[in-house]
Amino acid sequence: MLSFVLRRLGTMALTMLCLTIIVFFLINLDPNLKKLAISQTEMHTSAEQLESWLAGHGYRQNFFVRYGQWLGVLPKQPVTDAATGKPAQRFSFCNDPLVPTYSGILQGDFGCSTKFKTTVASKLFPALSATGILMLCVLLVMIPISLLIGILAGMREGSRTDRTLSVASIASTATPEYVSGVIFTVIFASWLGWLNGSAASASQGITFYNFTLPVMTLAIYGIGYIARMTRASMVEVMTQQYIRTARLKGLSFGSVVVKHALRNALIAPFTVIMLQFPWLLTGVVIVEVMFRYQGFGYTLVEAAGNNDIDLLLGCSLVSVFIVLITQLISDVGYAFLNPRIRVQ
Amino acid sequence: MQVEYISAFNVILGVIGRFWPVWIALAIVMGASFAYKKKLGLYGQLFDTGVGVVGVGICLFWLFTAIFASTVAPFDPLAQVPIMKDALPGGIEPVSKLVYYFGGDKLARDVFSRMVFGSQIVLIIAPAATGFALMVGITLGLPAGYYGGKIDTVLSFLANLVLAFPVILLFYLLVTPGIMDTPIPYAMAGLFFLFPIIFFSVLFWTRYKNRPDRLYILLGLTLVIGGWVYAGLVFDADPLKIVHIDPNQLNIFVAVVFASSPGVFRIVRGLTMDIKTRDYVAAAQTRGESPWYIMLWEILPNARGPLIVDACLRIGYTTILLGTLGYFGLGLAPESPDWGTAIKDASRLLRSFIHPALPPTIALMSFVLGLNLLADSLREQSMKD
């Protein structure tokens, strides 16, 4: 078991290294750097001035040197002030050191956000905690509802309950967040006026009024999928011999479902729930933009829209990390929950 | 000048009336399918269940809407009639006396016509991108599952690499205007569009290598048609100027194929690993068939059931992806009538007007729902055997 986890961790580190190189390469493509220079300098700057801005802020060093600096295996060099010839800070708002230092991801320095004029860490981590609250609410709503629907549908395969719930889950998987978000806003905010169509005020304080719509919108897409997986798993368990044995020895249907079927049927949905996180991440971006909630997704869109290189790199690192760690947890957890694999 | 309105009942009647070519085509196809369902194999069996009929019906409805879009839509999707700005559903356009059935949007365009024309964009890109993703996934997944070992390790690592990208991040990196100045999208297109040519060449080569009369015709056709489309799509150098794709659309297309082919790869790899232990594969190996013959003519046909179901689901998923791209304003032109862009424009103004938001959302939802229902009943039918 330990060697399995270690091997998976090794693969994960390699994957992260490859992914960050790819992201670093794509973000630092020449057109993107040009756009950054244009947005950071005054209007009507000539091509030479843009070029000197890029060189002056260290964007024209060798690609691998810059990647090494970002990662923290090469020292970050202060830039040289063209006028005085002395070392100067790259961005004054970040307190960059004036002597070469190892200061990258490995040292915990995420770099400098050019859009928000502050360090990436001070922007990214509050956003992450805001999104964490949202995700927690979503999971608290999504998991019980979807498991309940899946179990009710899979308990008696082919019954009317099963068919109704299955069609409902198919319908919910056909409703991406930007569709359900619009429909819910129209119904609950525009027509009924029960809920707030914007979650911008949720940063100050979360209330039922401003937080229900984002949570509902995010949960609905996942509910159908998890419910269908739970149903399939439940249907399979209900046809097993030990269920028939339990029924034949005279136990009631309810207690067979709760005591014998449920525990075995919930192994597969666990994996599915864990693998839902990457999908939730895309949903989070859509929902946060739609409801103006200042979280991780909102930050990612701002960073991407403004070519904020370090912030976007930080966001990519976090999202890739979440995807990989949930994959690891789902694998390890599956082996742990399923006795047949655990013994091997 | 005041805009006159027709009643809600007349709006419904009018909309149903505008779809007349779609209803006729739908009636012919559905009627024929019902009449001959015994002879149509898996497709015919779909008509045994209510879910299947609804699924096929919705998919065909949008297919015919896309085909007959210029007849169904009363207005040009980009035409602006200033007086109709934010008009409510049922407003009569004063000059032509035609009705804005679902009202006008903030740029005074007809919401109904835009919805109808939006179906064209979705129904061209989504199935085509899924087709290419299937080709890439099959061509790489078969050897990975069949040979195992190093090939499998490398290809699976690459697939997991792409799958570890959150889709939205991938799109923000790959579908930016700046990337069109670099050779990256063209290089990727050049790589992906090679796969169908390789696939069909190997397919015909393994089957007919002892029958040169058939082989040369089929290989020649593959290379000529494939090369022609390839030149048109990747280099925009079609000598006859028929095959042409807008650079923006090429970029979207490539990004969507890139995002969905690892999923196909995983499914094909799993199916291959399962099927290669069967007796008929062992028999083919004993006969001395080449590995690629076994993969393409023994394993692939027996993996078709789950692949067809996956393809249906995947077209729906690609539709959702295209909507996401539109919603974030990535790749597609801002005035493009596709459903995602329309939802983005309308969702910003939900506080004042809700009517431009509903048609594209319901259209997108119903199309994906139709595909999911279709996939579900296909899965049920193929499980019965």
In the structure, what pLDDT confidence band is assigned to residue B1 with cuts at 50, 70 and 90?
low
Strands A112-113 and B4-5: unpaired
Picking from B51, B122, B170, B176 by the largest number of A CB atoms within 10 A of its own CB, the best residue to mutate is: B176
> For the residues of A259-325, what is the DSSP string, one character each?
IIIHHHHTHHHHHHHHHTHHHHHHHHHHHHHHTT--SHHHHHHHHHHTT-HHHHHHHHHHHHHHHHH
* Mean pLDDT (whole number) for B264-277: 90
Q: Does A189 touch chain B (CB under 8 A)?
A: yes
Closest by Cα among B258, B131, B268, B97 to B187:
B258
Closest by Cα among B228, B206, B230, B208 to B217:
B208
Q: Does A137 touch chain B (CB under 8 A)?
A: no
More confident residue, B149 or A97: B149
Q: With helix as H, strand as E and coil as C, how does A7-55 read?
A: HHHHHHHHHHHHHHHHHHHHHCCHHHHHHHHHHHCCCCCCHHHHHHHHH
Q: How far apart are CA A165 and CA A154, in angstroms?
A: 10
Residue A340: pLDDT above 80?
no
Sheet holding B4-5, edge to edge: B4-5, B91-92, B99-100
Task: Kindly report which listed range (A208-212, A249-253, B25-29, B224-228) carries the lowest average pLDDT score.
Answer: A208-212
Residue B138: pLDDT above 90?
yes
How large is the angle between the packed helices B358-384 and A160-173, nearest 10 degrees? 130
Residue B361: pLDDT above 60?
yes
Contact criterion met (CB < 8 Å) for A31 and B181:
yes
Contact criterion met (CB < 8 Å) for A301 and B328:
yes
What local confidence, expressed as pLDDT, does residue A87 receive? 66
Token look-up 């007919």 returns B208
Contacts of B169 in chain A (CB under 8 A): 23, 300, 315-316, 319
Chain B neighbours among A 195-214 (CB < 8 Å)?
197
Q: Which two tokens stand for residue A83?
A: 């006028």
Q: What is the dihedral of CA A143, A149, A152, A155, to 10 degrees?
A: -80
Query: How confident is the model over B22-61, as pLDDT tens digits?
Result: 888 888 888 888 888 888 777 788 888 888 889 889 999 9
Residue B151: pLDDT above 70?
yes
Contacts of B164 in chain A (CB under 8 A): 15, 19, 278, 320, 323-324, 327
Within a 13 Å sphere around the CA of B175, how many CA atoms are in the beta-carbon half? 29
* Mean pLDDT (whole number) for A195-216: 74
Closest by Cα among A230, A20, A6 to A111:
A20
Chain B neighbours among A 153-172 (CB < 8 Å)?
166-167, 170-171
Contact assessment for residue B319 and residue B361, using Cβ atoms and an 8 Å cutoff: no
The C-alpha of B44 sits at a distance from chain A's nearest C-alpha, in angstroms, of: 21
Contact criterion met (CB < 8 Å) for A181 and B328:
no
> For the residues of B165-191, what is the DSSP string, one character each?
S-HHHHHHHHS-GGGGGSSHHHHHHHH
Q: How many CB pairs under 8 A join A and B?
A: 127
Contact criterion met (CB < 8 Å) for A289 and B173:
no
Percent of chain A with pLDDT over 70: 88
* Mean pLDDT (whole number) for A61-82: 76
How large is the angle between the packed helices A309-337 and B167-174, nearest 10 degrees? 150
Q: Does A121 touch chain B (CB under 8 A)?
A: no
Residue A344: pLDDT above 60?
no
Contact assessment for residue B62 and residue B126, using Cβ atoms and an 8 Å cutoff: no
Helix (H, G, I), strand (E, B) or coil at A145: helix
Q: How far apart are CA A324 and CA B235, in angstroms?
A: 37
Neighbours of A135 (CB within 10 A): 22
Q: Which two tokens stand for residue B97?
A: 């006396």
Contact assessment for residue A112 and residue A86, using Cβ atoms and an 8 Å cutoff: no
How large is the angle between the packed helices A277-290 and A177-184, nearest 10 degrees? 40
Residue B87: pLDDT above 70?
yes
Contact assessment for residue B359 and residue B18, using Cβ atoms and an 8 Å cutoff: no
Residue of chain A nearest B354, judged by CA positions: A186
Chain B neighbours among A 16-75 (CB < 8 Å)?
18-19, 22-23, 26-27, 29-32, 34-35
Chain-centroid distance, C-alpha B55? 16
The C-alpha of A216 sits at a distance from chain B's nearest C-alpha, in angstroms, of: 17
> For the residues of A79-144, what is the DSSP string, one character each?
EEPTTT-SEE-S-GGGT--SS-B--SGGGT---EETTTTEEHHHHHHHHHHHHHHHHHHHHHHHHH
Beta bridge partners of B91: B5, B100
Q: How far apart are CA B315 and CA B131, in angstroms?
A: 9
The C-alpha of B285 sits at a distance from chain A's nearest C-alpha, in angstroms, of: 32
Residue B19: pLDDT above 90?
no
Helix (H) or strand (E) holding B91: strand B91-92
What local confidence, expressed as pLDDT, does residue A80 receive? 66
Nearest by CB to residue B172, choosing from A22, A179, A304, is A304
Contact criterion met (CB < 8 Å) for B182 and A29:
yes
Beta bridge partners of A87: A80
A205: exposed, middle or buried (Cβ count in 10 Å: 0-12, 13-18, 19+): exposed
Contact criterion met (CB < 8 Å) for B347 and A175:
no
Nearest by CB to residue A316, choosing from B169, B176, B354, is B169
Burial call B124-161: b when 16+ CB within 10 Å, e when fewer:
ebbbebbebbbbbbbbbbbbbbbeeeeebeebbeebbb
Query: How confident is the model over B198-218, as pLDDT tens digits?
Result: 999 999 888 888 888 888 888
Nearest by CB to residue A32, choosing from B157, B178, B323, is B178
Q: How far apart are CA A113 and CA A310, in angstroms?
A: 6
Q: Which two tokens stand for residue B87?
A: 């008009």
Residue of chain A nearest B346, judged by CA positions: A182
Phi-psi region of B241 (alpha: psi -120 to 50; beta: other; left: phi over 0): left
Residue of chain A nearest B314, judged by CA positions: A174
The C-alpha of A178 sits at a distance from chain B's nearest C-alpha, in angstroms, of: 8
Contact assessment for residue B359 and residue B366, using Cβ atoms and an 8 Å cutoff: no
Chain-centroid distance, C-alpha A236? 31
Contact criterion met (CB < 8 Å) for B168 and A183:
no
What local confidence, expressed as pLDDT, does residue A259 receive? 82
Query: How confident is the model over B218-255, as pLDDT tens digits?
Result: 888 888 888 888 888 887 777 677 777 777 888 888 89
* Mean pLDDT (whole number) for B130-144: 93
Residue A104: pLDDT above 90?
no
Nearest by CB to residue A174, choosing from B51, B176, B368, is B368
What local confidence, expressed as pLDDT, does residue B207 receive? 87
Helix (H, G, I), strand (E, B) or coil at B289: coil
Residue B113: pLDDT above 90?
no
Chain B neighbours among A 266-295 (CB < 8 Å)?
278, 281-282, 285-286, 289-290
Contacts of A278 in chain B (CB under 8 A): 163-164, 166-167
* Mean pLDDT (whole number) for A226-255: 86
Helix (H, G, I), strand (E, B) or coil at B14: helix
How large is the angle between the packed helices B304-327 and A277-290, nearest 10 degrees? 30
Beta bridge partners of B99: B92
Neighbours of B260 (CB within 10 A): 24
Contacts of A214 in chain B (CB under 8 A): none
Closest by Cα among A277, A229, A8, A275 to B266:
A275
Task: Kindly report which listed range (A27-31, B25-29, B321-325, B361-365) carries the lowest average pLDDT score.
Answer: A27-31
Q: How far apart are CA A120 and CA A112, in angstroms?
A: 5
Q: How far apart are CA A212 and CA A207, in angstroms?
A: 8
Cα-flanking dihedrals φ and ψ of residue A249, to 5°?
Answer: -80, 5
Q: Which residues contact A298 (CB under 8 A, 6 or more apart)?
A: A127, A285, A288, A289, A292
Helix (H, G, I), strand (E, B) or coil at A180: helix
Rounded to 5°, the CA angle B316-B319-B323 comes to: 145
The C-alpha of A102 sits at a distance from chain B's nearest C-alpha, in angstroms, of: 28
Task: Kindly report which listed range (A41-45, A209-213, B90-94, B128-132) carries the lowest average pLDDT score.
Answer: A41-45
Contact assessment for residue B49 and residue B380, using Cβ atoms and an 8 Å cutoff: yes
Neighbours of A116 (CB within 10 A): 18
Residue of chain B nearest A319, judged by CA positions: B166
Task: Kindly report which listed range (A131-135, A187-191, B143-147) carries the lowest average pLDDT score.
Answer: A187-191
More confident residue, A73 or A175: A175
Contact criterion met (CB < 8 Å) for B182 and A30:
yes
* Cα radius of gyration (chain A): 25
